[in-house]
Amino acid sequence: MTIKLYYAKFSPPVRAVLFNLKMLNIHHELINVDVSKKENKSEEYLKINPLGTVPTMIDNNFVIIDSHAINKYLVNKYAKDDKLYPKDINAQSVVDQRLFFDNGVLFTALKNVMVKIVIEKTLTAVTSDIIRSFENTYGFLEKFLNSTSYIAGNHITIADLSVITTLTTLDILVPVRIEKFPFVIAYIDRCKKTFPSYSEINEEGLNMIRQLLASFQFQLSAL
C-alpha cells in the first residue's frame, strides 16, 4: 500500500518529511492540504488528525501526525541502515536531543511569531525582541556545530532534516549573520550541497513563506 502524506510545502515539518522520503527512496502519494482555505480544519481532515496540523502520514491505515515521529518511523521501518537514525543508544540520544531542540526551541520560536503575523494579525514587523530571541537560538546552534559537520555528528541524521528546514525559515525573518554565527552559516551551506533535491524541496517552501509574509506586508529584519 502506498504511503499517503498530507502536506503543505510552506511548512518546515512537511519539508523535513519530504527530505526523508527522498533520501529513503520511498514511493508515496502527496495530498495537498490548502491551509489558506482551512482544509486542515475540515471535518474530514480532523477525523484523521484531530490537531489539524501538517504533515499527516498514513501507512497501511496507520496514522502518524508529527514530523519527528514520522521520520523516526520511516527510518525504523524502511531504511537499509541506521545512519539517519542510529541504533547505538548514545548516538541515538544525541539525535533525539536535537529533535527535541527543534520542536521545543527552534520551531516554537518560529510558530510564536507566525501566529502573531498570520492568525492574530498583531505583528507587522520584526521587533528587537524577536531579533534577540532568534539570535539566542542561533547561539545554541553555533555551540552544537562548533565541533561537528552536522547537528548530531559528522553525517546527516533525521535531526538535520528538521533543524535545517526550521532554521532556514527563521533566517527569512532574522538573517543568520556570518560574523556572529559562522558555524551555523557553514552548516546551512553544507546542507544545501548535500541534501537531495534541496532547491525543489526546501527553497520552494521558503519562497512560499516569503510570498506569505509579503501578502501580509510584513517588514522583515534589516540586518
Is the whole model's pTM more than 0.85, yes or no? yes
CA 119 to chain centre: 20
Q: Which CATH superfamily is domain 3-78 in?
A: Glutaredoxin (3.40.30.10)
Q: Phi first, then psi: what are they for 64, rounded to 5°? A: -130, 135
What is the C-alpha to C-alpha distance for residues 191 and 131, in angstroms, rounded to an integer? 24
- The per-residue pLDDT for 185 is 98
CA distances, 56 to each of 4, 14, 116, 119, 214 (Å): 8, 9, 24, 21, 27
pLDDT at 2: 85
Range(s) within the chain of domains with CATH label 3.40.30.10: 3-78
Q: Which residues contact 125 (CB under 8 A, 6 or more apart)?
A: 218, 219, 220
Q: What is the pLDDT of residue 222?
A: 67
User: What does the block give as the cell for 158?
Assistant: 533525521
Q: Could you tell me the fold of the domain covering 89-215?
A: Glutathione S-transferase Yfyf (Class Pi); Chain A, domain 2 (1.20.1050)
Residue-by-residue pLDDT tens, the chain, 223 positions:
689 999 999 999 999 999 999 999 999 999 999 999 999 999 999 999 999 999 999 999 999 999 999 999 999 999 999 999 999 999 999 999 999 999 999 999 999 999 999 999 999 999 999 999 999 999 999 999 999 999 999 999 999 999 999 999 999 999 999 999 999 999 999 999 999 999 999 999 999 999 999 999 999 976 6
The per-residue pLDDT for 11 is: 98
Query: What is the pLDDT, as a whole number, of residue 221?
Result: 75
